[in-house]
Amino acid sequence: MKNKILLFLVFTTSVFAESVTEKRQEIINIINEEIKEVNRLSRQYKQKNPSVLFRKSELYLEKGRIVKEIENEKFLELSVQKRRKVRKNDYFKGSYSLFVRARSVATQLLKSFPGYDRSSDVYYILGFNEKEFGSNKKALEYLQKAEKYAKPGSKSQIRAQNALAEIYYNQKKYRKAIDYYEKNLKILKDRWWTKDAYNLSWSHFRIRNYERAIDLMKKVEELSKKPQYIDMSGQVEKDIGLFYAESGKIREGVEHYKRYGKDYTLELITIATFLREQGKYAQALSVLTEALKISKTDKNRAKILISRIQLFDKYEKFNYHLKDCISLYKLTKNYELTSDQKELFKFQIKRQVGKLQKQIANPTYKKSKAVTEQKIKAVVSYLALLKDLEPNKKDDSNFYMAETYYQGDFFDKAIDSYQAAFKEASKRGDKKIMKLSMEGMLSAIGQPMSKFPNRDKYIYPVFNSYLAYDSRSTKAKEIYKRLYKNQYEKKNSVEMKKLLTKYANLFPKDVKNQEKMVNSLIEVYNNKKETGQLALLMSEISDGKFKISSKTKKELFAVYQKIEIKRIEQDLAKGNYKEAINGYLKIYSNDKTTTKARANAAYNLMAISLKGQKLQETYNWGLKASKIMTDKDFYTYRSSFLSVSKYLFERLQFSASADLSHRTLGKICKAKTKLKSQFFNNAVINYRAHGNINKLKSLRRLVKICGLPTSSLVLLDREVLGLYHESQKYESLGLYIGSVRGNKEIHPDLAYYSTLIYNYYLEKKIFYKLKEWKATILSYYNSSQKMNKKVPVQVLDSIASFNMGSLESLDNKIDQVKLSFPESVFNSRLQRKLQMLNSLTAEALKIQKIGSGRGIVTAFEILVSSYLKVAEEINVFEPKGKSPQYVASFKKSMREIISPLIKKANEYERQAQKIISKDEILTEYKSRYRNFSYNVFDNMKFYDYERVGR
C-alpha cells in the first residue's frame, strides 16, 4: 500500500466527464488534503523518507496540471484582442508555482537520496513536469534518465518509454516513436493500450506506413469496444477515413464507412474536407470526384460541387472552378441550396471575379493579351451567373465589367462601361453605383498618356459630366484642382485666373486651396513678368476677393516688398538718395510692413543720414532701428552702431552718443562680445561729459546683468564719485559712498572722498557729522590696508592727525612734571620725564609708519621740541641753597644727560627732513618753531584718479 503510485491518475485528468469544474475543485480539495497528509507523514519519518518526498512531488504535479486546465480555460475565455495584450504568464501563475514546487521536491529528493531505488519514477515525474513547463528538451533528458534507471521490462520503464514515444512523435521523429510504442505494446496490454496504439498508428501514418497504420486503427477500434480499455473509437472513426484516403484506398475507406451504417458520401466529403484542411488538395479532390460518382442526390452533389469549387479555388484552376460553378448553377434550377451554400457559392464567384480582376491588373499576366482577354471573358461569365443569383443587383454588372476592363488597362472600354453603368444607375437612383462609376471614370482619366493614349479625348467630357453631376462636392473640388493643374502645366495664366475666380466662388471657405492656386498664379505672373496683373491680384487679395490665410497674405506682401526693396537698392546704387529715402520711408511707414523690413528700412535710413552728416536724423533713425531690430540682427550690426556712437561723441553729441551706446548695450547685453565693455565705457564717458548723473547711475545695474568686467564698475563708480564731488553735492556723495561699499576695488577712493566730506563738515563746522565720517575714513583706510591698496595722501594726513592728539597730550604731560629739589625728588622727577620722553618717541614712530607727510612733520616737530624742552629745563635748573661745589658737581652730572638729549633732538630733526625729502611729502607745514616745509602745492583742486596713492 505504501508504495502504491498514483502516477496513472496524474495523467488522466482529461478523462473528466460532465460538471468538470465541480469535479476539478473537488479533486483539488482532495489533493490539498493529500499534501497535508503527506507532510504529516514526512514528519513521522523526520523528512528522511524518499518515497514520501516522491509522493509529495507527484501531488504537486497533479495539482499543477488541474490548476493549469482551469487557468487555461480562463485564459481562453478572454477576447482575442485582450488575449493579445495581456501577459500569458500572468494567467498561469498558480500552476507554474506548483510545477516549480514539484520540480524542487523531486530534485531535492534525487540530491538527498542518490541511491533511491525508484529514481526512475522521479525522473519520470521531472520529465512530465518539464513538459508542463513547455521545455521538451529537458523533458526528453529526464525521460531518457527515467528509462535508463528503470528495471528492464518494469512498468516504470514502459511508462517512460511511452512518454518518450509521445515526445518523439511531437518532435516528428516518428521512427523513434514507433520503436518505443511497438516495444511496449507487445509487453503490456493495460487500459491505455488503445491510446498508445492509436498514437502508434498515427506514427506509422506519418511515415506513410499506411497498411500498418490502418491495421492498428482497426485493432484500436475493436478493443475500444471493451470496457477494460480506454475508448478511442471516436478518434478512430474520425481518422481512419483519412488514412484510407491518404493511402489511396478510397474504396476500402468507403467500405469501412459503410460498416458504420452511415451515408458514406457524407463521410467521403468529411474526409475530403479533412484532407483539404491538411492542405492535401489532390487527395481531397480525388475523394470528391469519387464521391461525385457515387452520389445520387442533388443535395449531396451540391455539397460535393461546393467542396470542389473550394478546392479549385485553392488550386487556382479557374476554368474548372467556372465549370463547376456552371454545373452548380444548373443544379440550382431544380434544387434550392441552403442559405450557407448559396452564400458560399456567391462568395466563391465574387472571390474568383476578384482574383481574376487582380490577375488582369497584374503586370505578369499582361504580357499576353489573349490570356487577359480570356480572363476577362471568364469574369463576364461569372458576372452573368452572379446576375442571376443576385437579381436585385443586375445593374451592377456593367460596373464590374468596367472595373475589369479598367484592370486590364482597357480604359476606353472601361469608361464606356462606367458611363453605361452611370446612366443605368441614374435611372434606378442607385447613388452608390453612380458614385463608383464616376470615380472609376475619373480614375481612368487620371492614367498617364502612355497607358491611355487617347485620354485627352475623354478628359473634358468626363470632367464636365462630373461637374454637371456634382459641382460642390469634395470630388468636384478635386476636379477643379485637376483642371487648374492642367492649366498651370500649360502656364495659361488667363485660364488659371478664371478657374481661381470660379473656385473662389464655389468654395469660398477653402482657404488652403485658394492659397495654393494664388501662389501658383503669382509664380506664373512673376515668370511672365506680368507685374500689372500681379499688382491687380495683390489688390484683389487685399479686397478679400480671394481668401488666403493672413500668414500667407503677409508672406505675399513680403515678397511684394522684396521686389520694392530691390528697386530702392538699385536707386541707392545709382546715388538717387532722395528716391531711396522716400522708398524706405514708404516701407517704414506701411502698416503691413514686417518688423524685419521696417528695421531694415530704419537702419538704412540711419546709414543714409550718417552719410549725409545729419546728426540728429542719424541719431533718430539709429534709435528707431535699435528699437525694432531683433537682438540677433542688432548683434550683426553692432560695429555700425559703435561707429555711429563714436561719430556722435566726436561731434560732442554726448547725450545722443551716450543714449545710443546705452541702448546698444541693452540689446547686446547677453551676447558674448568685448564690444559690450566699449559701449559701456562710451556710455559712462558720454553721460559724465554730459553731466547726466542719473543716467550714469542707471548704468550700474547693467554691469551685473550684462556680465561686464569689474573694471567697468570701478570706472563707473569713480566717475559718479567725481561728478558728485565736482558738483559739490556732498550729501549725495555721502549716500553714494554708502551704496557702493560692496565695490572693494574702490575702497581707497571711498576713503579719499570720505576725507573730503570730513573736511567739508569741519570747514562748515558741522561737528556732529565728524565722528561718523572719521569712522568711515578709518573703516575704508583699514580695508584698503588689508587689501594692500595704496590710499591717497589726504587720507593718510587725516589718519595721522587723528593720532596726533595723544602725542600732544603726552608732550603737555612732560611739561607739567616740574623739576625741584631735594635731590631725591629731583632724581625721581627727572627719571619720570625721561620715561615719558621714551613713550613720546614710540608714539611718534607709530605716526611715522602711517606715511602721512603732514603727520610725520608734526610728530617729529613735537618730538624734537619735547627733547629740547627737557634738555633746556635740566640745563636751567639750579639747586637752591647748595654749595657751589655741589652745584658744580650737579651741573656736570646734568650735562651728561643734556648732551645726549640735544643730540637725539638734532638727530630726529635731521631724520624728519630726510623723510620729507625722500618721500616728497607734499604737505604744507607750518612749524611752531621752525619752517620745515618746502615744495608745497597750495589748494590743489584737480583730482586725477590716476595719481591716487602716489
Partner 1 sequence: MFRIIGSLLIILSFSGNLYARKKLSHDRVLEIYRKNITYAYDKGFDYSAVAWIKEYLYLSNGIIPSDMTRYINRAVLKVGAKNFQGLNLKVLNRGRGSVFRYIAAKKQFSLGKYQEAKAELKRISGNSAFYPFALNYLAVINYLEKQYSRSLEYFNTCIAISDKEMGSKDRDNYIYKQYKVNRDICIAGKARVFYAQRKLDRADFLYLDLDKSSIVWPTVLIEEAWSSYYQQNYNRTLGKLVTYNAPLLRYFANPEIYVLRAMSYLKLCLYPDVNYVVEDFYKRFESLAGRIERILDKNRKGKIYYYNLVDSYRSMKDQELMYVIKGIYKSPNIKAFIDNVKNAEIERNRIYKIGSGIIKKSLLSNINDFILTQKTVIGIAAKAKIQKHAFDLRKAFQAMSYMRLEVLGRRKESLYFDRKLTGKRGDVRYLDRNDKQYFWNFISEFWSDELGDYVFTLPSECPNEK
Which residue number, 17 or 573, has a Cβ lying nearer to partner 1? 17
262 touches partner 1 by CB under 8 A:
no
**Rounded to 5 degrees, what are φ and ψ at 713?**
-70, -40
670 touches partner 1 by CB under 8 A:
no
The answer to whether residues 620 and 653 touch, using CB atoms and an 8 Å cutoff, is: no
Gyration radius of the chain over CA positions: 60
Q: Identify which range of 36-44, 292-300, 653-661, 669-677 contacts partner 1 by CB under 8 A.
A: 36-44
Angle between helices 250-259 and 264-277 (to 10 degrees): 130
- Which residue in 7, 34, 430, 730 binds partner 1 (CB under 8 A)? 34
Burial of 228 (0-12, 13-18, 19+ CB in 10 A): exposed
The CA distances from residue 416 to 446, 455, 462, in Å, are 15, 13, 11
- Which residue in 21, 33, 428, 595 binds partner 1 (CB under 8 A)? 33
744 touches partner 1 by CB under 8 A:
no
By C-alpha distance, which of 777, 950, 932 is closest to 857?
932
Angle at 937 between CA 935 and CA 941, to 5 degrees: 165
Q: Identify which range of 25-33, 68-76, 167-175, 376-384 contacts partner 1 by CB under 8 A.
A: 25-33
Which residue number, 9 or 494, has a Cβ lying nearer to partner 1? 9
73 touches partner 1 by CB under 8 A:
no
Give CA–CA dist 352/716, Å, rounded. Answer: 94
Q: Identify which range of 9-17, 123-131, 482-490, 883-891 contacts partner 1 by CB under 8 A.
A: 9-17
- Which residue in 7, 21, 23, 816 binds partner 1 (CB under 8 A)? 23
Helix, strand or coil, per DSSP, at residue 745: helix
Q: How many CB atoms lie within 10 A of CB 700?
A: 17
45 touches partner 1 by CB under 8 A:
yes
**Rounded to 5 degrees, what are φ and ψ at 267?**
-60, -40
Angle between helices 155-170 and 136-149 (to 10 degrees): 150
172 phi-psi bin (left φ>0, alpha ψ -120 to 50, beta other): left
227 touches partner 1 by CB under 8 A:
no
- Which residue in 7, 21, 44, 444 binds partner 1 (CB under 8 A)? 44
Which residue number, 6 or 735, has a Cβ lying nearer to partner 1? 6
31 touches partner 1 by CB under 8 A:
yes
Which residue number, 31 or 602, has a Cβ lying nearer to partner 1? 31
Query: At closest approach, how far in Å is the CB of 105 from partner 1?
Result: 16
27 touches partner 1 by CB under 8 A:
yes
Give CA–CA dist 489/201, Å, rounded. Answer: 75
Which residue number, 12 or 465, has a Cβ lying nearer to partner 1? 12
Query: At closest approach, how far in Å is the CB of 12 from partner 1?
Result: 6
The CA distances from residue 940 to 268, 443, 794, 924, in Å, are 134, 102, 11, 11
Q: Identify which range of 14-22, 162-170, 255-263, 582-590 contacts partner 1 by CB under 8 A.
A: 14-22
Per-position DSSP letters for 628-670, written without gaps between them: HS-HHHHHHTHHHHHHHHHHHHHTT-HHHHHHHHHHHHHHTTT
**Rounded to 5 degrees, what are φ and ψ at 202?**
-65, -35
230 touches partner 1 by CB under 8 A:
no
Q: Identify which range of 6-14, 214-222, 413-421, 623-631 contacts partner 1 by CB under 8 A.
A: 6-14
2 touches partner 1 by CB under 8 A:
yes
Which residue number, 26 or 872, has a Cβ lying nearer to partner 1? 26
Q: Identify which range of 37-45, 471-479, 520-528, 697-705 contacts partner 1 by CB under 8 A.
A: 37-45
Q: Which of residues 624-653 bind partner 1 (CB under 8 A)?
A: none
Query: At closest approach, how far in Å is the CB of 297 from partner 1?
Result: 41
Helix/strand/coil percentages in the chain, nearest 5: 80, 0, 20
By C-alpha distance, which of 426, 435, 373 is closest to 404?
373
Give CA–CA dist 639/668, Å, rounded. Answer: 11
Q: Which of residues 385-414 bind partner 1 (CB under 8 A)?
A: none
Cell of 132: 508542463
20 touches partner 1 by CB under 8 A:
no
190 touches partner 1 by CB under 8 A:
no
80 touches partner 1 by CB under 8 A:
no
Query: At closest approach, how far in Å is the CB of 62 from partner 1?
Result: 9
By C-alpha distance, which of 768, 766, 764, 740 is closest to 753?
740
The CA distances from residue 403 to 375, 441, 453, 858, in Å, are 13, 10, 19, 124
26 touches partner 1 by CB under 8 A:
yes
Give CA–CA dist 9/27, Å, rounded. Answer: 11
842 touches partner 1 by CB under 8 A:
no
Helix, strand or coil, per DSSP, at residue 303: helix
- Which residue in 7, 50, 53, 55 binds partner 1 (CB under 8 A)? 55
Q: Identify which range of 31-39, 99-107, 449-457, 458-466 contacts partner 1 by CB under 8 A.
A: 31-39
Q: What is the DSSP letter of 593?
A: S
Which residue number, 40 or 950, has a Cβ lying nearer to partner 1? 40
Which residue number, 45 or 934, has a Cβ lying nearer to partner 1? 45
- Which residue in 21, 40, 460, 823 binds partner 1 (CB under 8 A)? 40
Q: Identify which range of 22-30, 660-668, 688-696, 806-814 contacts partner 1 by CB under 8 A.
A: 22-30
Which residue number, 20 or 535, has a Cβ lying nearer to partner 1? 20
Find all residues with CB under 8 Å of 466, minimum gap 6, and list them: 438, 441, 442, 475, 476, 479
Q: Identify which range of 1-9, 718-726, 808-816, 845-853 contacts partner 1 by CB under 8 A.
A: 1-9
Angle between helices 431-445 and 474-489 (to 10 degrees): 10
Number of chain residues interacting with partner 1 (CB under 8 A) = 24
Give CA–CA dist 84/101, Å, rounded. Answer: 29
15 touches partner 1 by CB under 8 A:
yes
Which residue number, 45 or 577, has a Cβ lying nearer to partner 1? 45
13 touches partner 1 by CB under 8 A:
yes
Which residue number, 30 or 888, has a Cβ lying nearer to partner 1? 30
Binding residues (CB under 8 A) for partner 1: these are 1-2, 4, 6, 9, 12-13, 15-17, 23, 26-27, 30-31, 33-34, 37-38, 40-41, 44-45, 55
